[in-house]
Chain A
Amino acid sequence: MRHVYFDNAATTYPKPPSVAEAVRTAVEKYGGNPGRGGHFYSMNASAAVYKVREQAAEFFGAEPENVAFTLNCTHSLNLAIKGLVKPGDKIVISSMEHNSVARPAYALSKIGVSARVAKIGGTDEETVENFRRLLSPEVRLAVCSAASNVTGRANPIDKIAEICRENGICFIVDGAQACGILPISLRDGMNFICTAGHKGLYGPTGTGLLISDGKFTLDTVIEGGTGATSSELSQTGFMPERLESGTLNTVGILGLGAGISYVKSMGTEKLFRHESGLCDILIDGIKGEQGVKIYRKGEKFVPIVSFNIDGIPAPKLSSALSDSGYALRGGLHCSLLAHRTLGALPDGTVRFSPSAFSSEKDVAGLVNNLKKICKTGL
């Protein structure tokens, strides 16, 4: 049986051949520990890692030293959120946040940090207004995803950044589902962009980025060897080493560099158009079918479509699709808040997320499959 992958919001697959090649080259040629020595091997690895740092910085409108390599977007978000708050602070998050934001917020409630939830409104204007209402002086930071990992809805992060700036509040953007597909940049006014390297940037799993505008210094969650200031027991004070304790993932980082190059060569606009076109094919193909519910309300979307078919729990439907060769994710997608907001608990939704490598033909095949299920059930 032929398998078709439509779970690119979880991680993109396949990766561009250039990414595989970069990973291979990293293993074969960049074996030294970057930033940990003055010999040829270490310096070679350091130079290669720095080149990717520069690439990421250029891509997101940052300075290279303000780009920290992390394990994934969740790691970045934890470093940013926990690095900023103190007991007694308040934070604001959106009603559609992933558990990578909701769970740190919940965990922080145990040390006296309380979270306010800004509802994602029917329009962008409503969303901005909902954030504005909650931004009182005791709010330390606000977090909003650039796009929902469930519905794909893109949020007005530039406008939210503006009201945060007016109120002197740090604004963190979860870019996991938008980076590489929308032109996300610090120029939009946020203070931190947290993102995965292995999704829309087409890098290997185990890569993430924390990008700062340099205006806020983060307390550290992890301390250790940084290759700098080794005579002091206190953690290195400057970026990016402050947030990069321990040996870097050179192999993943070099793969991520190739991924970013791929996205740049394709252009985010072209990728957006291609993948959004595939989403339209799916939506047009199933929206009139009996019992289909598509979760799309808003003004702009990244290429993600979540849906349900009446009477079939999402995990069961995704399992049936998998048996037919279509890899879609079913369930809560690590987003309790979002599904609660959508009224899609307890079973969640089935999520379709294409990539640059997805084809119209495969989407048509999925549509036929879903139509059949709508008519005959499972």
Chain B
Amino acid sequence: MTYTLINVSSVTYAMKSKNILNNSGYYCEIEREERNKRSGCGYAIRIKDDPAVICGILERNGITTGERRTAERGNRR
């Protein structure tokens, strides 16, 4: 299955994102991004729903989202 990974700035924002999405009825997981191209390391949320919708929800809650990329289950990086 294909997922989307959306970078967020820190573990704090990843946790906050997860709570907001869960409370909005969306499932997500948190992943560590050791090789985040822009900033060296950080966290991403892994979602299977429409990334535009998800990012919209997060932005409305004051969370700045970063790079997005798709990944396959079992081969996330």
Binding site for B on A (CB under 8 A): 34-35, 37-39, 42-43, 46-47, 50, 53-54, 63-65, 226-232, 236, 238, 240-241
Contacts and interface: CB of A to CB of B under 8 A. Distances in A.
A65 B16 contact: yes
B10 interface: yes
A35 B38 CA distance: 18
A191 B42 CA distance: 28
Given A50-B15, A229-B39, A231-B38, 14 more contacts: A38-B32, A38-B34, A38-B43, A43-B30, A46-B11, A53-B15, A54-B19, A226-B10, A228-B39, A230-B40, A230-B41, A232-B39, A236-B10, A238-B9
16 contacts: A38-B43, A42-B32, A46-B11, A50-B15, A53-B12, A63-B62, A227-B41, A228-B10, A228-B39, A228-B41, A228-B42, A230-B41, A231-B36, A231-B38, A231-B39, A240-B12
A37 B12 CA distance: 13
A265 B36 CA distance: 42
A247 to B, nearest CB: 13
A338 to B, nearest CB: 36
Choose among B13, B15, B30, B33 the residue with the greatest number of A CB atoms under 10 Å from its CB: B15
Interface of B: 9-13, 15-16, 19, 30-34, 36, 38-43, 62
- State the main secondary structure of chain A at its contact with B: loop
Contacts of B31: 38
A65 B12 contact: yes
B21 to A, nearest CB: 14
A46 B11 CA distance: 7
Contacts of A64: 12, 15-16
Given A37-B32, A38-B34, A63-B62, A229 B12 contact: no
Contact of A35 (B10, B34, B40): B10
Nearest to B19: A54
Contacts of B36: 231
Contacts of A35: 10-12
A50 B39 contact: no
B42 A47 contact: no
B12 A241 contact: yes
A227 B39 contact: no
Identify the 3 closest CB pairs spanning chains A and B, nearest first.
Answer: A38-B32, A231-B40, A230-B40
Contacts of A230: 39-41
B39 A46 contact: no
A50 B11 CA distance: 9
A50 B30 contact: no
Contact of A34 (B11, B33, B40): B11
B34 A65 contact: no
A229 to B, nearest CB: 4
A50 B19 CA distance: 10
B70 to A, nearest CB: 18
B13 to A, nearest CB: 7
Contacts of B38: 231
A59 B54 CA distance: 28
A63 B11 CA distance: 15
Contacts of B19: 54
Contacts of A228: 9-11, 39, 41-43
A337 to B, nearest CB: 36
B15 A46 contact: yes
Nearest to A239: B12
Contacts of A241: 10, 12
B27 to A, nearest CB: 16
Contact of A229 (B11, B16, B34, B40): B40
A47 B18 CA distance: 10
Contacts of B33: 38
Contacts of A34: 11
A227 B11 contact: yes
Contacts of B34: 38
B40 A50 contact: no
